Every structure is written in C-alpha cells, then in structure tokens.
Amino acid sequence: MSTNPGTTVNYGAIGSGGGIRSLRDHSVDFGASDAFLNEREIESMRSEVVHVATCMGGVVMVYNLEGVDSLRLTGQLVSDIYLGKIKKWNDLMLQALNPTVALPDLEITPVYRSDGSGTTYNFSEYLSRVSPEWSQVMGKGKSLKWPAGIAAKGNPGVAGIVQQTEGAMGYIGSEYALSLRLAMAKMKNKAGNFVDATLETISAAANVELPDDMRATIIDSEDPDAYPISIFTWILVYKDQQYGTRSLEEAQELVRLLEYIISPPGQAVAAKINYAPLSEQAVGKTRRLIESMHYAGKAIISTTGSVE
Amino acid sequence: MKDKIFRFLLFLAAVLILLLTAGIVYALVSRSTEAFGEYGIWSFIVNPEWDPRPATEEYGAMSFILGTLYTAFFALFLCIPFSFSVALFNGEYFKGMKISSAVRSVVDLLAGIPSIVYGLWGFYTIRPLIIDLGINAQGFGIFLSSVVLAIMIIPYASSLSTEFLSMVPNNLKEGAYSLGATRIEVIRHISIPSSLPGIVASYILALGRALGETMAVTMLIGNTDRIPQGLRDTGNTMASVIANQFGEADGFKLSSLIAIGLLLFVITAIINMIAKLIMKRVSRL
C-alpha cells in the first residue's frame, strides 16, 4: 500500500469457505466473501462478526456463439437453460427475445462451478427470486445439485470452458469477465430494461435503502439502470478484536486497512480491476460498522476518522 | 561403531516412513468418522446422492466410485493394445537393439510428463476431436478422460511387461524353435503364457495409477456429481471430486470428502497388494 508503506497484507485466494473457516479458527485477521454469513454460520463464529462492504461486483452470463455479439436473456430463460428445459440455442423462447439475432441449431452447454462459491450463491439467489420453479427445485446455495450441464473449478475454469466450447454458457464474476472482455448477455432487470453489466450499472443496483449491518442483498434491484445480478463483496472481521494472542497494534493495522479500502483512493483501485465502487450510502454505513470495532472495550477508531 | 550408527539411522528412516503412513491413515480415518457416523459406512459407500444444499444435505460416494471405476477400467482397456505391443517390441522382437532402447526411453518420457500437461493437451487437442467425432456436444466426460488416462498409464503397463517378457528363459524358447515353432508360435505358446502373471500384475499396477490420477481427470471429466450414464456422459472420480470441492467444504461435506479419500486409499492399496501378490508368485517360479 503506497499510503502506508510499512504494512504488508497477505491475502490467500483460498475461497471464501476457507477464509471463513480460517477466521473461525483465529488463524487470519479477516476473511472475504461474496455472500454474507447466514444465521447458522454467524452462530458458528467465536464472537460477533462485522460485514465490511468493500466494493461491488456482479454475476454475468457469458456465452460462446460464433457471429453472435449481442444476446438478451431473462432470469426465467437462464433458469430454464440450467434446469435443462431449454436445450438448443434456436429455442423459440430465446429466438423471440432476440428477433434480430440468427441463433444456431446448436446444443446449449450450461457451465457451472464445481467448487462451492459465492458466485454460485448469488446466481442461484437471483434465479430463486425470478423463477418460482428454480426456487422450488434448486434453491440457493454456494453449491447446488445440478440437473444439467458440466462443471469447472473457479471463474477461470468456467471461463476457459466457455471460451473453448461453441454453444457453451456460463455464469462468472463480473470482475473476471470484464477484464477478459468475454461476450456477455444483456440481462432484463426488475424495471424491464435489458442492461449490460458495467461498473455503472452494478453500482446503480445499490441505490436502494440498505440495512445498518450491511448484510444486504441488492440482487434484482428496483433501480431502472441496475444490472440485476449485482452484489456487495465483504470482508469479515470480528467486532471484538481482542482475541487469541492479538495485540492492539494488529487490530489497529487491520482497521487502517479497512479504512483505506472504503476511502476514495481504495475505491479507485477497485474500479481499476473492474470492481464497482460503493455508493455513498454504502460507504457511510460501512464506516459506522468499522467504527464499532473495539479492543479491550475501547473503540479502535475515533468517530473523527483517525485510528487512536 | 560407524556401522552401528549407520544401521541406527537406516532403522530410524524406516520407522519414520511407517509412522508417516500410519499418521496419514489415522488422519483420514479420524476425519471421516463424522460422515461414516452420520450415514453408516456401507450406506455412505452405496448412496449415489451428492446434495450439498443445506436443506436436503446428503452425501454418498457411489457416483464417484463408479466414475473412478469407469474411467480407470476403460483407460486400461484402451491402453492394453499399445502397451502390449510396446512390450513385445522391446521384450521380444527388438530385444537388446538400439531401436528398442530408443522406444523405451520415449515411453519412459511419457511417465515423466506432469499430469497438468496431459490435462491441457486433452483440453485443447483431444477434446475438439471428441466433439468432431460426435461422441458428445462439449467433449468432456468419461470418454475423454479415459483416452488421456490410457496414454498416461502406457509407460507403467509396458515397462514392467517388457521386463517379464524378457525374463522368459531362453532354453524354453530355444527348445520350441528346435521343434520347428515359428516366432509367432513361440510368443503365443511360450513367452506369453510363462510371463502372463507378470503382465497381468503390471496392468493392475497401471490400473492403480489410473484410479488415483487427479489433475488431468479434473480438467476433462466434466465434474458432474451424478452416476455417469455410459462412457459418453460426464461424471466425477473420487480424486476429482476432492480436488474440486475441498476448498470450500466444511462440516459433513468436508468429512465426506475425506471419507472418499480414505476409500480411494483403501481401493488403491488393495489393487497394489493384488499386483504384488501376483508378482511374488511369478518370481518364485
């Protein structure tokens, strides 16, 4: 970090399940996840956990069809494809939604994540909201029981298969798809508009009333410009920082890092790597959550914004 | 004195290996008990359901056991014609000749290629062929994995078979020749029958190798948690399901994955033991 050259942050990309497990074991300072902890997970932690929103992302539908550079999809259609009910690209429903596109007589290969993933969670959360059948048959979760398609590990695995397989479709984290410039479908949002996933349309999804603990789902947002499968991504930390052999200095360093992440320079870094910046309201609520972190009964950060 | 120290060090190293193995087994067993305790060992093995959703959470190993057996046995089937002809080439027809040692070192080279390289090769080169052949729409599955696995295990099957073929006593073969037998007849009636147990053992060892192969299979099999409906279908092997799902797993799922690891360990150990037994019998002859 250029603003604080004395500090090195080690981040292991081990998956959010591993991160949460390590946080529970007190072996890391923070864990990060695209899905907020459910009640069962919260209870399993050693003490109260705070969800610090760091930036925003989305889940995008990528596809590989030669000669097709624009595709419109609805949640209902995506649900039917992943349930194995729509099997061909020239299906009447798909063709009706894309009247100007010549869709081929080709099998659709839906690709999903073989590892448990926040991306899968958000994807299935979205489909559960827009498709009653999905909600009943599949439900939502980090890993599901899939009736159709093939699986690959991680965003790179799914992207690799989609890029190499004519007729494949996959769901991928927007930051990954945007940086690879993969072909993405326009998704129909709640207001009825077909929206491309961009940093702006993802940020727009947060223009709704947010809860104080920031455990908010902004999927299928009502904002007319919002990309429908948009999410916050969180860093999870213990509210009470005095645990194990932890020193006050360590806790302060952590808080400094979190402060930096939600600051304008931190948010600019996020945008550079294709994560959408937090809305003003989200930054305000997150700052109050960081302020609530304490050590030995005392707040680690004063309300004026500096670490004591 | 020096000799004693050396002996002691050797003893220590040997004991350490034993302890290490015991430690691995202990770790696998102790962490599988959660899954085995919940579902029962036998019903965990035969249950084909793998449902990680919290509301209906249920884990069983059958679809992965079958996926493993399908890929490994089909790979063995595909590898036999190649490894057997390599063995005949090196151990019989061109025994001791320069061309034989060249073939031998190339085949041995196959064993040295990292499994991820095989995976990439399968993904980018073999998979399009599978699609063109119309075996399935996207190429992934048991068939693709087995084809790549077959090539991976050729060196294991062929180099041992070569050894056993060249161990056939010369006086046996010469006797047959003196009775007017042709080369083919000698191979059919002398060489193959007398080295057969050894050849079988080398194939069993190759099978053991195919059972545990992880990286290449994970990249090629499609990773679907269902019983494969035939060779064209996608599936998951015991090794690939662990590689795929271990990172995010906890609770019963983690314990079930470790239990699958234990089962794979047991299956591989049994396979290797069978091969060893057969080979022991051969060397006694």
* Per-residue pLDDT, A306: 57
Q: Given CB atoms, is A152 within the 8 Å cutoff of chain B? A: yes
Give the list of residues 6+ apart from residue A98 with CB closer than 8 angstroms, or none. Answer: A70, A71, A72
**B157 and B32 share one domain:** no
**B83 and B25 share one domain:** no
ipTM of the complex: 0.85
**What is the DSSP code string of B136-164?**
-SS--SHHHHHHHHHHHHHHHHHHHHHHH
* Per-residue pLDDT, A118: 84
- Helices B192-212 and B142-166, interaxial angle, to 10°? 140
Chain A from 2 to 21: CB within 8 A of any B CB:
14-18, 20-21
The residue among B100, B143, B164 whose CA lies nearest residue B234 is: B143
**What is the DSSP code string of A2-17?**
TTSTT-------S-HH
Q: Which of B17, B34, B56 is the last residue of a domain?
A: B56
Chain B from 132 to 171: CB within 8 A of any A CB:
137-140
- Rounded to whole angstroms, the Cα distance separating A260 from A55 reads 12
User: Would the pLDDT of B65 be above 50?
Assistant: yes
Provide, as residue numbers in chain B, all residues whose Cβ is less than 8 Å from the Cβ of A107: 137-138
* Per-residue pLDDT, A3: 57
* Per-residue pLDDT, B260: 97
Q: Given CB atoms, is B249 within the 8 Å cutoff of chain A? A: yes
User: Would the pLDDT of B222 be above 90?
Assistant: yes
**B6 and B95 share one domain:** no
Q: Give me the phi and psi of A211, to 5 degrees please.
A: -75, 160
Q: Which of B35, B56, B77 is the last residue of a domain?
A: B56
Helix, strand or coil, per DSSP, at residue A114: coil
* Per-residue pLDDT, A284: 92
Q: Residue A2 — very low, low, confident or very high, per pLDDT cuts 50/70/90? A: very low
- Residue predicted with more confidence, A76 or A15: A76
**B88 and B140 share one domain:** yes
Of A17, A144, A145, the CB nearest to B250: A17
Q: Do the beta carbons of residue A293 and residue A237 sit within 8 Å?
A: yes
Of A145, A149, A150, the CB nearest to B53: A145
Of B51, B54, B138, the CB nearest to A150: B138
Q: Residue B279 — very low, low, confident or very high, per pLDDT cuts 50/70/90? A: confident
- Average pLDDT along chain A: 90
B123: distance to nearest CA of chain A, Å? 9
A151 to B127: CB separation less than 8 angstroms, yes or no: no
Q: Given CB atoms, is A288 within the 8 Å cutoff of chain B? A: no
User: Would the pLDDT of A303 be above 70?
Assistant: no
Side-chain-side CA neighbours of B134 within 13 Å: the count stands at: 0
List b or e across B125-158, with b for residues whose CB sees 16 or more CB atoms inside 10 angstroms. Answer: ebbeebbeeebbbbbbbbbbbbbbbbbbbbbbbb
- Residue predicted with more confidence, A305 or A302: A302
All domains of chain A, ordered by start, with CATH? 16-57+230-307 (3.40.190.10), 58-198 (3.40.190.10)
**B8 and B145 share one domain:** no
Q: Given CB atoms, is B47 within the 8 Å cutoff of chain A? A: no
The proportion of chain A whose per-residue pLDDT surpasses 90, expressed as a percent, equals: 68
- Rounded to whole angstroms, the Cα distance separating B266 from B251 reads 23
Provide, as residue numbers in chain B, all residues whose Cβ is less than 8 Å from the Cβ of A109: 137-138
pLDDT tens by residue, A123-172: 999 999 999 999 999 999 889 999 999 999 999 999 999 999 999 999 99
Lowest mean pLDDT among A16-30, A116-130, A222-236: A16-30
**B7 and B75 share one domain:** no
- Rounded to whole angstroms, the Cα distance separating B256 from B140 reads 25
**B89 and B133 share one domain:** yes
Of B54, B243, B248, the CB nearest to A117: B248
User: Would the pLDDT of B198 be above 70?
Assistant: yes
The model scores a pTM over 0.90: no
Provide, as residue numbers in chain A, all residues whose Cβ is less than 8 Å from the Cβ of B51: 145
Residue B256: give its domain's CATH number: 1.10.3720.10
* Per-residue pLDDT, A79: 97
**B81 and B22 share one domain:** no
User: Would the pLDDT of B142 be above 80?
Assistant: yes
User: How many domains does chain B fold into?
Assistant: 2
Of B50, B51, B250, the CB nearest to A21: B250
A115 to B140: CB separation less than 8 angstroms, yes or no: no
User: Would the pLDDT of A1 be above 50?
Assistant: no
Residue of B nearest to A151 (CA): B223
Residue of B nearest to A150 (CA): B222
- Rounded to whole angstroms, the Cα distance separating B178 from A130 reads 84
Q: Do the beta carbons of residue A237 and residue A50 sit within 8 Å?
A: yes
The proportion of chain B whose per-residue pLDDT surpasses 90, expressed as a percent, equals: 76
pLDDT tens by residue, B75-88: 999 999 999 999 99
Q: Given CB atoms, is A164 within the 8 Å cutoff of chain B? A: yes
**B171 and B212 share one domain:** yes
Which residues span the domain enclosing B181? Answer: 64-284
**Sheet (strand A72-73) strand order:** A72-73, A186-188, A194-195
Question: What single-letter DSSP state applies at residue A100?
Answer: T
Place of tokens 């299956």: B267
Of B51, B124, B253, the CB nearest to A145: B51
Lowest mean pLDDT among A16-25, A114-123, A289-298, B193-202: A16-25
**B7 and B132 share one domain:** no
**B37 and B81 share one domain:** no
One-letter identity of residue B13: A
Helix, strand or coil, per DSSP, at residue A196: coil
Strands (E), A146-215: 150-152, 168-173, 186-188, 194-195
- Rounded to whole angstroms, the Cα distance separating A158 from A63 reads 11
CB pairs under 8 A between A and B: 79
Q: Residue B284 — very low, low, confident or very high, per pLDDT cuts 50/70/90? A: low
**B120 and B15 share one domain:** no
Q: Given CB atoms, is B52 within the 8 Å cutoff of chain A? A: yes
Q: Residue B69 — very low, low, confident or very high, per pLDDT cuts 50/70/90? A: very high
